[in-house]
Structure 1
Amino acid sequence: MTHVNNHTPTAFRAGIAVLSLTLGVFATVTAEFLPVGILPEVAAGFNITEGHAGMMITVPGILAALAAPGVMLAAGRADRRSVLLFLSFLLLVSCGVAAWAPSFSVLLISRAMVGLCLGAFWATALAVAGRLTTPEKAHKATATVFAGVTAAMILGVPFGTFTAGLFSWRGAFISTGLVSAAAFLMQLIALPSLPAGKGMKLSGIADYLKLQTARKSKALIFLIFGAHFATYTYLAPLLQQAGISSDTVTWILVGYGIAGLASNFVASAFISRQLTATFTTVLMLLMVSLATLPQMTSWPVGITLMVMVWGLAWGAMPLCMNIWNQRASSGHEEASSAMFTFTIQVAIAAGGKLVDTLGLPAGYHIAAARVLVSALILLAYRPQNKAAKVEIR
C-alpha cells in the first residue's frame, strides 16, 4: 500500500492532518456515548422510561456496525478525503438535529445519523492515518488517531454530563456539535487527497475472517465491549439509586474519566512488552467492579470508589484491544480495522437491552461473567506479534 501522496506534505501539515482525524474520531465516539451521562434527563424530558431512552445508544450502534464495512465497500475507489469530509459534515448535522429535536422519534433519527457516520469514519480514519505521513511514522499516526477513540470512550460521558449540568441535555449536543465543526474545518484545510487504491472488497473481509486469529480476537472484543456498555449505559441511574444527586453524578463521572486517563497513560509505558499481563489485570478489575456495584447502592462512598476502579480498568482497555487486534491482523489491516469497528458496535447494540430486561443487579452480574469468559479466552490464546514493535501512544 502506498503510504504517502506524490507530494509528500510537510511534517507540520501531516501532523495537523493526523490531529484532524484524531479530533474527528473523538467527536464521533463522544457523540455515540454522550447519551449515557444524560439518560435520566432525556427520559424525563420526553416522559419515557430510561430503558426506552437507552435506544439512543442501541440505534447508532446497529447502524455503525453496518456502516463500518458497508461504507468502505460502497465507497469503492472514491477519494477517502471526500468520504471523511462527508461523514464529518453528517455528524455536525446530526448534533444540530439532536439539540433541536421536538420529539424522541426525531432524536432517534439524529442518533441514526450518528451511527452512519460513526462506524465508517472510525474505520476509514484508522485505515488511512498511516498514509498521511512517512512510512516509518505510519504506526505512530495510527496510534495517535486511536488515541482520540480512547479519549472519547473515557471522557465522552463526563463531557456530556458536565455540559448538560451547565446548560441542559440539549446543550450537551450543541457542545458536541462545536467539536464536530472544529474537526470538519481542520480536515477541510489539512487533509490531502487520499486515493483509495484497490479499495476494500468482500473477498478481503472473507479471507480475513477465515483466520482463526481473527475470529478469536473478535470474540474477545465482542464479550468485553458488550459487557461494558450494557452496564455503563445505566451507570447514571444506578448512582442515582444510591441517593447520589445528578450534580454529584456528573463529578463522579469526571473522576471516572480522570482515573481512566491516568490508567491509559501508565499502561502505555509498558503495554507492548507486557500485553497479556496488563490485559488480564484490567479485565479482573472490570469484572470485580461490575460484580460488586449493584450491592453498593446503600453505600454512596463505596459505590463511588468502585466506579473509580472501573475507570482505571477501562482506561487501559481500548489500548490493550487495539494492540491485540493489530497483532491478530496478519496483513489484513483494512479488513481488520473495519471488522474491529463492526464487532464493537454489534456488541454495544446487542447488550443495550440487557439491564433493561433483567434489571440492574442481574444485568451487571451477567456482564461480569462475560468479562470472566473473555479473560479465559485471553489466557488460552495469545496472537504472535510478527512485527518487531507495535508503537503506541
Structure 2
Amino acid sequence: MSASLSPPRSATDPARTTRSQWLAVAVLSLSTFVVVTSEMLPVGVLTPMADGLGITQGAAGYSLSITGLVTAVTAPLVPRLLGRLDRRLVLASAMVVLAAGNALTAVAPGFGLLVVSRALLGIGMGVVWGLAAVIASRLVAPRNAALAVSFAVSGVAAASVIGVPLGTVVGNAFGWRTAFAVLAGGGIALAAGLALALPRLPRPAAPAGAGAGTGGQSLLGTPAVAAGLALIVLLVTAHFAAYTYVRPVLEERTGLAPGSIALALLAYGACGLAGNFAAGALAARRARFTLLSLATGIGAAIALLALLGSVAGVAYAAVALWGLTYGGLSVGGQIWMTQSAPHRTEHVTGLYVGVFTAAIALGAFLGGTVVEASGVTPLLWSAAALALAGLAVGAVGPGPARR
C-alpha cells in the first residue's frame, strides 16, 4: 500500500480499523455514488429528457458541461475556504445542496431552470468529491488507507453499475423526472447519514516536513503533478465526449432498444467497479503503468465502437472494455496525485477534482458540438484520437516515484 495516501494518524488512531469506521467509509462511498449518479443520469435518459424539455440532444448533453464547470471551480477552492470547519458537517451540507439541485432538475420546465439546477448540483459535487478520498484515509487505520480510498472512489464506478442503469430503468418506466426526484430524496438521507456516521473531522495537521506553501501554482510546478493532470484532461475529455452520447450511439449505430441499452450500461458499470479496485491495488505500486494501461483500453474501446459498433456483440464487448478501463481512472489518477504531492493531499486532491470535472465539462461540450455538426461516428473517432494523445503524454512525461 502507498504510504502517501494516509496522514500520520487516522481520525481516532486505532491499531486496526473498527466496524464503525468501515461503516463511515461505506456512507462516504454511498455519497460519491449519489453524486456521480446525479451528474451522469442525463446520459441514460438523454433522449426523453431532451424531448421533455423541448431541447436538442446536444443541448441536453451540455447539462453535464454546466455541472462540470461549476465543480471545476468549486473543488480547488474547498481546501482554501474550509479553514477549521468540521469536514463532516461540510459534507452533510453539500449533500443537501446536491439534493436541491436534483429536485430542481425534476421540475425544470425548460433549459433555463435546468442550468440553475445543474449548477447547484456542481457545487455539491465539488465539495463531496473534492473531500471524499482525503477524508476516507482519515477514517481508518493507516495500513487500510489505500483500500479506504478505493472504497470511497468506488461510488463513482458503482454509479455506473447501479445508478445510471437503474435511473434509466426508472426513467423508462415512470419518466425521467421521477428518476431525479428519487436522487433528491437519497441526497437528503445521506446528509443525515454523514452527520451521524462520521466522526468530527477538523482540518488535518500538516505532516512533518511538509512545505509551507499551499497554492495551486506551486503544485502545478511539480512535474509529476502537471504531467498527471495533462493525462487526465485528455482521457476524461475523450471519455465524456463519447460517453455522454453513448445512448444515441447504441440506438443509431447498433440498433439497441431501451432495455438492451440499460443492460449494456449495466455491463459497463459492473466492469467499471472491477476496474476501480484492480486499478487501486495496482496504482499504489505502479501508478504510471496503471494509467497507461487504462488509456490504452479506453482508446481501443471507443475505436471498436467507431469501427464495428453496428455489430451488437462487438458493441457489448467494447462497452465492457470501456467500463473496465475507465472505471479505474478516477482512483488511479487520485493515487498518482497523492504520490506526486504526498504532503498536501487536500490541496492536490482539490486541484485534481477541479481539473477532472473541467475535463468532463469540456468533453460533454465538445461531444455535443461534434454530434450536432457531424454525427456520432466522427465523434467516436475524435474521442479515440484524444485517448491516444493521452497515452503519449503519459508515456513521455514524468510520473510519481515508484513505490
Amino acid at match of 2:18: A
Amino acid at match of 2:394: L
| 1:54 partner SS | helix
CA RMSD of aligned residues (A): 2.7
Structure 1 residue 318 corresponds to structure 2 residue 330 = yes
Q: What is the distance in 2 between the residues matched to 1:330 and 1:272?
A: 13
CA-to-partner distance for each residue in 1:14-60, whole Å, 9 max, x for gaps?
22222221111111111111111111110111221100111210101
Aligned pairs for 1:1-393 (under 5 A) are 3-4=9-10, 11-153=18-160, 155-196=162-203, 203-242=214-253, 243-267=255-279, 270-273=282-285, 275-296=287-308, 298-358=310-370, 359=374, 360-381=376-397, 383-385=399-401
C-alpha displacement of 1:278? 4.1
CA-to-partner distance for each residue in 1:193-245, whole Å, 9 max, x for gaps?
21225799984322222211111110011111111011100010111113222
| 2:343 partner SS | coil
CA-to-partner distance for each residue in 1:336-357, whole Å, 9 max, x for gaps?
1101101111111112222332
Q: What is the distance in 2 between the residues matched to 1:286 and 1:144?
A: 22
| 2:45 partner SS | helix
TM score, norm. by length of structure 2: 0.87
Q: Which moved more, 1:154-163 or 1:179-188?
A: 154-163
C-alpha displacement of 1:275? 4.5
TM score, norm. by length of structure 1: 0.89
Give the 3 Å change call, closer, same or farther, for CA 42–14 of structure 1 in structure 2: same
C-alpha displacement of 1:265? 4.8
Give the 3 Å change call, closer, same or farther, for CA 324–289 of structure 1 in structure 2: same
Tell whether the 8 Å contact from 2:39 to 2:67 is kept in structure 1 after alignment. yes
CA-to-partner distance for each residue in 1:66-103, whole Å, 9 max, x for gaps?
00012332222222122111101111222222222233
C-alpha displacement of 1:322? 2.6
Tell whether the 8 Å contact from 2:101 to 2:120 is kept in structure 1 after alignment. yes
C-alpha displacement of 1:113? 0.8
Identity %: 31
Give the 3 Å change call, closer, same or farther, for CA 60–268 of structure 1 in structure 2: closer
Q: Which moved more, 1:19-28 or 1:313-322?
A: 313-322
Q: What is the distance in 2 between the residues matched to 1:278 and 1:70?
A: 29
| 2:30 partner SS | helix
Q: What is the distance in 2 between the residues matched to 1:196 and 1:212?
A: 27
CA-to-partner distance for each residue in 1:267-289, whole Å, 9 max, x for gaps?
55655445444433332222122
Give the 3 Å change call, closer, same or farther, for CA 81–313 of structure 1 in structure 2: closer
Gaps of 5+ in 2: 1-6
Q: What is the distance in 2 between the residues matched to 1:106 and 1:20?
A: 30
| 1:353 partner SS | helix
C-alpha displacement of 1:296? 3.7
Alignment-derived partner of residue 391 in structure 1: none
Q: What is the distance in 1 between the residues matched to 2:394 and 2:12?
A: 42
| 1:56 partner SS | helix
Give the 3 Å change call, closer, same or farther, for CA 190–259 of structure 1 in structure 2: closer
Q: What is the distance in 1 between the residues matched to 2:124 and 2:362?
A: 19
| 2:270 partner SS | helix
Give the 3 Å change call, closer, same or farther, for CA 65–154 of structure 1 in structure 2: farther
Amino acid at match of 2:236: F
Amino acid at match of 2:361: A
Give the 3 Å change call, closer, same or farther, for CA 277–175 of structure 1 in structure 2: same
| 1:102 partner SS | coil
Q: Which moved more, 1:68-77 or 1:260-269?
A: 260-269
Amino acid at match of 2:250: L
Q: Which moved more, 1:251-260 or 1:149-158?
A: 149-158
C-alpha displacement of 1:2? 6.7
Give the 3 Å change call, closer, same or farther, for CA 29–69 of structure 1 in structure 2: same
Q: What is the distance in 2 between the residues matched to 1:175 and 1:303?
A: 30
C-alpha displacement of 1:7? 9.3
Q: What is the distance in 1 between the residues matched to 2:358 and 2:173?
A: 33
Q: Which moved more, 1:365-374 or 1:285-294?
A: 285-294
Amino acid at match of 2:62: M
Q: What is the distance in 1 between the residues matched to 2:111 and 2:185?
A: 22
Amino acid at match of 2:326: W
Tell whether the 8 Å contact from 2:272 to 2:328 is kept in structure 1 after alignment. yes
| 1:352 partner SS | helix
Q: Which moved more, 1:4-13 or 1:329-338?
A: 4-13
Amino acid at match of 1:176: L
Tell whether the 8 Å contact from 1:257 to 1:311 is kept in structure 2 after alignment. yes
